[in-house]
Amino acid sequence: MEPLILPSITDYHTIDIYEAHGGYAMLRKAVGMKPEEVTDEVKKSGLRGRGGACFPTGLKWTFMPKQTEKPKYLCVNGDESEPGTFKDRQIFECNPHLMIEGAIIAAYAMGVKTVYLYVRGEYNKWIRMVQKAVDSAYAKGYIGQNILGSGFSTDFFIHRGAGAYICGEESSLMNSVEGERGYPRVKPPFPAQNGLWGCPTTINNVETIANVPLILKMGWEAYAKIGAPKHPGPILVGVSGHVNRPGVYEMPTGVLLTEIIDKYAGGVPGNKKIKAVIPGGSSTMILRGENLTGVTMDADGLKAAGSSVGTAGMIVMDEDTDLIRVITRITAFYHHESCGQCTPCREGTGWMHKILKRFESSEATQADIDLLLDVANNIEGNTICALGDAAAWPVQSMIKQFREEFERRVLDARAPVAAAAGG
């Protein structure tokens, strides 16, 4: 498949080159359609969110009220902070106009007058790149008042975060835009009813939004035929860890994980065996290397394998990897990033980390395995937002898939000599 989101065209990030390849023609097309026709195209295309939850994008747009006195908002989520995820950064760098065009089309479809692009604070360099693109789009009349003479007006502002993973959660993101601490909100009410400043708001991931002009360009029928039928379209897969060519690769959904590792990412250094793969960012359930056969990168494929697509940020680990160290590091992350609102997550992530530290230093007991699982089970589903689940899933799946690693550390604990040799 020819790359659509990240085409290899020199200087594609500049507006002149983007326009020369048909850029902003879809915005022109969209404003000539009825807003609900645009939403319908997106709905029929089968596009599902690329931020982690795989929610149908067009359906999400229909949740926005049509008759309302209140201003409506679109937040484009570029907070990208899930460990193993580095795809939105590629869009900011290589194809910012596709995202901007998509956002303005989405704004038109939903009657949004202000778009906020939320970008993590660390990406300041990329914020400047995108701002340059936004400025040039304003100058050409693609953003602002009376866009392309259609009578439709919308603004596009970048909102810079300041270091908080939780702000990628949609309600935290809105609180952050409001100048609050990034605490998640209780749902319902959902953002489409009660979002920014109590007004109807939709939050879409950067990559999701970048797909919108592609749908209009090829038509929903053609788009729906790309990749996995129930989760179609191009997808940016980030591959990191023990591979020869780590990086972001664009492909249709539904590609075999083994093909992604071997063909796209050049296989494992030293031809080592794969011990484990985290398929979609650190919160997705870990898979055993020997169970990868036939598993595909799409919602159904990964669900059947006992995991999920998440952000499609694959972390590959070879046979020599210390998985206890991996899960301890992941849990340290969620402990650090827990916002502290809900007790199960605030306390539980810390407890899990403490127990895992015992395994890491071979001081754990057999009972610690069940204790760890018990804590994880009591976080899952008991918090306001999904961070609690995101912290519990890797621990639960690690114990399920690699219980022997934990047990070995328990045995190690009883035999200090073996512990020194193990590690």
**Contact residues: other proteins, CB under 8 A:** 71, 80-86, 88-89, 114, 120-125, 155, 157, 159-165, 176-182, 196-197, 199, 238-242, 246-248, 278, 282, 313, 315, 317, 321, 325-326, 329-330, 333, 336-337, 339
Nearer to other proteins, 187 or 336 (CB): 336
Cα–Cα nearest to 116, from 134, 98, 129? 134
Q: Which helix (H) or strand (E) holds 59?
A: helix 57-62
Q: How far is the CB of 329 from other proteins (least distance, A)?
A: 6
* 3-class DSSP state of 77: strand
Nearer to other proteins, 108 or 165 (CB): 165
Nearer to other proteins, 276 or 355 (CB): 276
- Check residue 263 and report its DSSP letter: I
Using DSSP bridges, classify how beta strands 313-318 and 274-278 pair: parallel, antiparallel or unpaired. antiparallel
Using DSSP bridges, classify how beta strands 73-78 and 114-119 pair: parallel, antiparallel or unpaired. parallel
Nearer to other proteins, 13 or 242 (CB): 242
Q: How far is the CB of 379 from other proteins (least distance, A)?
A: 19
Alpha-helical segments (H) within 191-290:
206-224, 257-259
**In contact, 135 and 168? CB cutoff 8 Å:** no
Nearer to other proteins, 46 or 238 (CB): 238
Residue whose tokens read 């040799």 = 421
Q: How far is the CB of 310 from other proteins (least distance, A)?
A: 13
Q: Which residues of 38-61 are buried (b: 16+ CB within 10 A; e: fewer)?
A: bbbbbbebbbbbbbbebebbbebb
Residue 224: CA atoms inside 13 Å, Cβ hemisphere, count? 12
Residue whose tokens read 């690769």 = 249
Nearer to other proteins, 261 or 278 (CB): 278
Neighbour count for residue 411 (Cβ, 10 Å): 13
Nearer to other proteins, 24 or 156 (CB): 156
Nearer to other proteins, 48 or 89 (CB): 89
Alpha-helical segments (H) within 268-342:
299-304, 323-337
Q: How far is the CB of 318 from other proteins (least distance, A)?
A: 9
Q: How far is the CB of 220 from other proteins (least distance, A)?
A: 31
Residue 57 CB partners (closer than 8 Å, separation 6+): 42, 43, 47, 48, 49, 204, 208, 211, 212
Determine the Cα–Cα distance for residues 396 and 400; give it in Å rounded to an integer.
Answer: 6
Q: How far is the CB of 162 from other proteins (least distance, A)?
A: 4
Residue whose tokens read 């439709």 = 152
Nearer to other proteins, 255 or 277 (CB): 277
Q: How far is the CB of 405 from other proteins (least distance, A)?
A: 16
Nearer to other proteins, 325 or 400 (CB): 325
Q: How far is the CB of 39 from other proteins (least distance, A)?
A: 25
Nearer to other proteins, 47 or 316 (CB): 316
Q: How far is the CB of 110 from other proteins (least distance, A)?
A: 18
Q: Which helix (H) or strand (E) holds 240?
A: strand 234-241
Q: How far is the CB of 230 from other proteins (least distance, A)?
A: 28
Cα–Cα nearest to 216, from 19, 13, 22, 55? 22
* 3-class DSSP state of 211: helix
Residue 291 CB partners (closer than 8 Å, separation 6+): 305
Determine the Cα–Cα distance for residues 346 and 230; give it in Å rounded to an integer.
Answer: 36
Using DSSP bridges, classify how beta strands 155-160 and 231-232 pair: parallel, antiparallel or unpaired. unpaired
Q: What are phi and psi of 109, to 5 degrees?
A: -60, -35
Q: How far is the CB of 10 from other proteins (least distance, A)?
A: 21
